[in-house]
Amino acid sequence: MKEFYMKRAIELAEKAVGFVNPDPLVGVVLVKDNRVIGEGYHKEYGAPSAIEEMLSTIKEDIYGSELYINLEPEFDIIVNSGIKKLYIGMLNPDKTKSNIEKFISSGIEVNVGILKEECEELNEIYKHYTLFKTPFVFTKWAMTLDGKLATKTGDSKWISGEESLRFVHHLRQRVAAIMVGENTVRQDNPMLTTRLEGVQISNPLRVILSKYGDISPEANVLKVDSDTKTLIISSINIPEDKEKFLVNKGVQLIKIKEKNNRIEFKDIVKALGEMKIDSLYIEGGSSVLASAFESGIVNKVYAAIAPKIIGGKDAITPVGGIGIERMKDAIVLKNVKHEIVGNDVIFKGYI
Ligand SMILES: NC(=O)c1ccc[n+]([C@@H]2O[C@H](COP(=O)([O-])OP(=O)(O)OC[C@H]3O[C@@H](n4cnc5c(N)ncnc54)[C@H](OP(=O)(O)O)[C@@H]3O)[C@@H](O)[C@H]2O)c1
């Protein structure tokens, strides 16, 4: 039953995906005499905690009850509540703020680590942002069976199947920001919005890497409103007229000093972290992905492999750049999992 209740807490927490960043996703289930007497979740950034949410709906006496929660709770709200047992999925990522010892010395029984792996993955963004104050970065690309990101003409619509495309929108819903390079804007003219049916939508901030602001006035990413915002990352040497044009379009601009003609991704994630952006999904293309991997800021990789073959030595591959010389220097993913989605296989793993 312990796993069952924790699974339910995770399920509740997931209802707020896209709305809590940079807060954690938290769900709670309160059990007394083998009966669920309360449930709750943290609904949006700055809103009451999952426990407060749940307590506000319970009418009966909770003395002696057991709380299932995916992330270690605050001390004060538990200590005088009457809750006698805590089942915690994962500890506070900031060890200096952990309350476990305090719970135990207050006579509250504590069990840590139920469905730990699932709980850690649920809040991997929160954990990373808490520890480093920079966004958790993941990449996702779709490639053909012969390892291409697009045809030799740059056409990539669509490599993956419909089911994998839906998977992309779930990723977009989860993150605070999504990034592509200016060639992708030129070639695909993407909206970079979240499109899912049956759920409330949360659009990520669209981040475009464009050294000198060469973006067409017709680009969809320049259509900005209160729900779909855009941030351009450019060089400090962006021409004045381009800067003026973009700012007039309503986009935000961050200018970063180039190093060896490149904008360093470490500077980009630092700037985004200062804006309270806790997660960045880099969707492509090949050149931007190469820069991201070269700078060492990528934490997680998703790659969809579609059963299509397009050939062409000039057709780009997912990670461009100069590349390494020896296999021993390859980036090797950890905790690799794969899932069949429609006819595609989606790999995921950590760096
Ligand atoms: N299948 C998929 O999942 C997928 C996803 C996205 C895009 N795509 C495809 O990918 C293609 C576009 O890829 P791409 O490689 O040509 O372009 P891109 O990565 O979208 O954009 C490249 C631009 O970003 C700049 N850039 C990259 N790293 C930089 C850095 N560190 N500092 C400053 N500027 C930097 C490049 O400058 P430099 O020229 O100076 O390097 C270039 O101007 C399109 O065909 C698109 O359809 C496919």
What gap in Å lies between CA 320 and CA 70, rounded to an integer? 39
Point out the residues of the chain with pLDDT beneath 70. Answer: none
Let me know whether 259 and 117 are in one domain: no
Let me know whether 32 and 103 are in one domain: yes
In the prediction, which pLDDT does 345 show?
98
In the prediction, which pLDDT does 1 show?
87
In terms of residue numbers, what domain contains 49? Answer: 2-123
Give CA angle at 175 (171, 180), nearest 5°.
Answer: 80
Strand partners, 19: none
Let me know whether 117 and 177 are in one domain: no
Task: Find the helix packing angle between 286-295 and 265-274, rounded to 10°.
Answer: 80
Please give the full DSSP string across 233-248, using - where no structure is assigned: EEETT--HHHHHHHHH
Q: Give the chain's domain count.
A: 2
In the prediction, which pLDDT does 312 show?
96
Let me know whether 13 and 77 are in one domain: yes
With tokens 């044009």, the residue in question is 245
With tokens 């915690």, the residue in question is 88
Asked whether residue 128 is domain-assigned, the answer is no
In the prediction, which pLDDT does 306 show?
98
Return the CATH number at 264.
3.40.430.10
Pocket mutation for ligand 1, best pick of 287, 294, 347 (most atoms within 8 Å of C-beta):
287
CA 234 to ligand 1 center in whole angstroms: 14
Let me know whether 60 and 141 are in one domain: no
Pocket mutation for ligand 1, best pick of 139, 144, 149, 293 (most atoms within 8 Å of C-beta):
149
> Counting Cβ atoms within 10 Å, is residue 345 exposed (0-12), middle (13-18) or buried (19+)?
middle
